[in-house]
Amino acid sequence: MILPIIAYGDPVLKRKALPISKDYEGLEQLIESMWETMYHAHGVGLAAPQIGKSIRLFVIDGSPFADDEDATPNDQLVLKSFKKVFINAEMLTEEGDDFSFTEGCLSIPDIREDVTRPSVIRLRYLDEHFNEQVEEFSGLAARIIQHEYDHIEGVLFTDKLSPLKKRLIKGKLDKISRGMVESDYRMKFFTKSKKR
Ligand code: NI
């Protein structure tokens, strides 16, 4: 089922999400719906808070980024088959050289900005079968995970911008939170839905 994507301005996007257990009701369908919703919106990742659930779950299919102009040969190799479910993820380390990459977010349409993050991460998580994995990721794979991981920590990429950049996009963000934005997928706006 394609779900509406929660837009910037909804407090669920600012909340630290909670871990889930194996018997979380409807988990399999939820994951299926998240894939559908993500592909429909042409995203490479989607975190549960973006569909209104404050739980530590995100899905990633990085294959479209294999063709990104910034993708290194190693990125291309890794991203081609980079499709994963991450449950109860926990960032163990973030290190390596900082690198800058232009990020966007399905919850924040029409805003894309350069964000600087470390290039190598180690992550502990459960896969969709609840098997624990500890894995190292680098390059664009790490970058997509860092962005989605931030979502389950209640952090958005716009929080990471310089004070000047934040001031420059404030008007646009306010508009998004009031539903004054076009997207080719269905969104849910906090202030709008409250008025109804
Ligand atoms: Ni996002």
Both tokens of 117, joined, read: 């993050």
Q: What is the structure's pLDDT at 192? A: 58
Pairing of strands 5-6, 57-61: unpaired
User: Residue 140 is encoded by which pair of tokens?
Assistant: 């664009």
Percent of the chain with pLDDT over 90: 95
Tokens of 103: 């990020």
Q: Which positions are annotated as active-site residues?
A: 148
The amino acid sitting at 64 is: P
pLDDT reading at 130 higher than 60: yes
Q: Write 189-195 long-range contacts (CB < 8 A, 24+).
A: 189/7, 189/9, 189/10, 190/6, 190/7, 190/9, 190/10, 190/11, 191/9
Tell me how far the alpha carbon of residue 108 lies from the centroid of ligand 1, in angstroms.
7
CB 79 within 8 A of CB 63: yes
- Ligand 1 centre to CA of 25 (Å) is 24
Compute the distance from residue 21 Cα to the ligand 1 centre, in Å: 24
User: What is the distance in A from the centroid of ligand 1 to the CA of 8?
Assistant: 10
Print burial letters for 71-105: b (CB count within 10 Å at least 16), e (below 16). Answer: beeebbebbeebebbbbbbeeeebeeeebebebeb
**Cβ density class 6-39: b for 16+ within 10 Å, e for less:** bbbbbebbeeebeebeeeeeebeebbebbeebbe
pLDDT band for 19, please (50, 70, 90 cuts).
Answer: very high
User: How do residues 139-172 score in pLDDT, each as one tens digit?
Assistant: 999 999 999 999 999 999 999 999 999 999 999 9
Q: Which residues touch 23 (CB under 8 Å, ≥6 apart)?
A: none
**What does the pLDDT read at residue 70?**
87
